Amino acid sequence: MGRQDKIKDLRQRIDALDRQILRLLNERAEIVLEVGKVKLEGKISTYDPDREAEILRHLVKQNSGPFPKQAIAPVFREIISACRSLENGLTVVYLGPPASHTHLACVKHFGSSIEAISSENIRDIFESVEKEKADFGVAPIENSTEGVVNQTLDMFTGSEVKICGEISVQISHDLLSKSGKRQDIRKVVSHPSALAQCREWLRKNFPDVERVETVSTAKAAQIAVQDRAVAAVAGSLAAQLYGLKVIESRIEDYIQNYTRFLILSRQSREKTGKDKTSILFSIPHSPGSLVQTLKLFEEKGINLTKIESRPVKDKPWEYIFFLDFEGHATDKPVHEAIDEMKKQVLFLKLLGSYPRSS
C-alpha cells in the first residue's frame, strides 16, 4: 500500500471514530435532558460545580494517553457546558468587553455554552448577581506581580454576594495594532494593570509613546481598531476577535504572571476537602489587637494565605482587613477560630468558603 492510500485509510478510520464520538455525545445529551427533568421536578439546581469538578478529576486520572493529559479538562469542560445548556443555561456576568482576561477566565471555568454578559465596571458585576440578573459573576481580585484589585475588595463591604470559587489564569500580553507596524504607533492603550505588567518592555521599546488607561484590555483593542496610530496591550484572543495584527507577542515583564479571579454567587458552597475561606473584619484601634486576632489562627493550626487592609471610607485612619485561609467554615478549627474572633473584633463578615484553584 502506497503512502497516499495508507493516509486515506487512516483518515477513513478517523472519520468513523468521529461519527462514533458524535453519536456518544448525543447519547450523553439525551441522558442529561432526563437528569434535567428530574431536577426540575425536585426544584434542584441544574448547575452542580462539585459534580462537574469530580467528573474532570476522574477523567484526567483515568486517561492513559496518548491524548494529552492537559487537554482532557478543556475538552470535557466544553462537553459538560454544552450539555448543561440543554437543561437550563447559566448567566454569567464578567468585566470588560468580549476577549477581556476576565471573559477568558469565565470561559475557562464555565465553558463557552453560557450566556456571558459583559460589564463595564466591577460594581455592576456585584449588583447583577445580588439583584438576580445573573447566576454568577467573575471579577479580578489580584495579580501576582501588581497586587490586589482594590475595587473588588471594597465592593465586599457593602454587598451580600458570596465568594463561591476562584480561577487562576496565566496572563500573557501582546502589543496589537491595525497595521502591525511599530512606526505607526503614537499611543499605547490598555487597562492600568496590563500597562503596569508590561511597564519595562514598553519603556525600552516605546519610551516616547503616550500611554493611556482604559477600562479593560478588550476595550483597548476596540480603540486600536479605530485608529492606526494606537496600539493595544491585550491578549491573543483580542487580536482574533477584533482583527488586529501582532506587533510583538508576550511583552509582559514577568513570565510567571498570574491573575486570580473570584466567582461570585448568592449561594455558599459545600465542603470539598480542598477549600479556602475568606472573611473581612475590623478591630479596635488599640495596641496588639491585630496580633491577638491573628494568633487565633496559629493556635488552631490554620494556615493564612493572604491578608490585605483597606481604609474605612468615612473614618480616616481606620481600616478593614481581608483575610484568606485554608479550610472550610464548617471545619471545626475554622468554626472555632471565627467564633473566638467575633468576641474580639468590632465587625466580622464571612465572604465565603470555596474550592481552592489548582
> Pairing mode, if any, of strands 136-143 and 91-95?
parallel
Is residue 305 within 8 A of residue 324, CB to CB? The reply is yes
Distance of alpha carbon 262 from alpha carbon 106, whole angstroms: 10
Q: Report helix, strand or coil for 141.
A: strand
Q: How many CB atoms lie within 10 A of CB 316?
A: 7
pLDDT at residue 358 above 70?
Answer: no
Residues 236-276 have pLDDT tens digits of 888 888 999 999 999 999 888 899 999 999 988 888 888 99
Strand order, beta sheet including 319-326: 304-311, 319-326, 275-282, 347-355
Q: Percent of the chain beyond pLDDT 90?
A: 52
Distance of alpha carbon 195 from alpha carbon 217, whole angstroms: 9
Residues 189-206 have pLDDT tens digits of 998 989 999 999 999 999
Closest CA to 49 of 200, 289, 267: 267
Is residue 332 within 8 A of residue 142, CB to CB? The reply is no
Interhelix angle 49-62/69-87, rounded to 10 degrees, is: 150
Mean pLDDT of the residues in the chain? 89
Per-residue model confidence (pLDDT) at position 114: 87
Domains of the chain plus CATH, in order, are 3-87 (1.20.59.10), 91-171+258-263 (3.40.190.10), 174-248 (3.40.190.10), 268-355 (3.30.70.260)
Long-range (24+ apart) CB contacts under 8 A made by 45-54 are: 46/84, 46/87, 46/88, 47/84, 47/90, 47/135, 49/164, 49/165, 49/269, 49/355, 50/269, 50/270, 50/272, 50/355, 52/77, 52/80, 53/272, 53/355
Query: Sorting pLDDT into bands at 50, 70 and 90, what band is 141?
Result: very high
pLDDT at residue 69 above 80?
Answer: yes
Per-residue model confidence (pLDDT) at position 42: 72
Q: How many CB atoms lie within 10 A of CB 67?
A: 9
Q: Mean per-residue pLDDT for 32-43?
A: 80
Per-residue model confidence (pLDDT) at position 1: 66
Q: Is 12 exposed, middle or buried (0-12, 13-18, 19+ CB in 10 A)?
A: exposed
| Distance of alpha carbon 201 from the chain centroid | 26
Torsion of CA 258, 275, 162, 332, to 10 degrees: -150
Closest CA to 173 of 154, 194, 193, 189: 194
DSSP 269-315: PPP-SSEEEEEEEE--SSTTHHHHHHHHHHHTTPPEEEEEEEE-TTS
Residues 92-106 have pLDDT tens digits of 999 888 888 889 899
pLDDT at residue 349 above 70?
Answer: yes
Per-residue model confidence (pLDDT) at position 73: 87
Residue type, 36: G
CA terminus-to-terminus distance, the chain: 48
Per-residue model confidence (pLDDT) at position 40: 75
Is residue 188 within 8 A of residue 195, CB to CB? The reply is yes
Per-residue model confidence (pLDDT) at position 101: 86
Distance of alpha carbon 115 from alpha carbon 101, whole angstroms: 17
Alpha helices in the chain (DSSP H): 3-41, 49-62, 69-87, 101-110, 122-130, 150-155, 192-197, 199-205, 217-226, 236-242, 289-299, 332-344
Query: Sorting pLDDT into bands at 50, 70 and 90, what band is 46?
Result: low
pLDDT at residue 158 above 80?
Answer: yes
pLDDT at residue 23 above 70?
Answer: yes
Q: Percent of the chain beyond pLDDT 70?
A: 98
Per-residue model confidence (pLDDT) at position 85: 81
Per-residue model confidence (pLDDT) at position 37: 82
Is residue 114 within 8 A of residue 90, CB to CB? The reply is yes
Q: Mean per-residue pLDDT for 327-334?
A: 94
Closest CA to 185 of 229, 239, 227, 226: 229
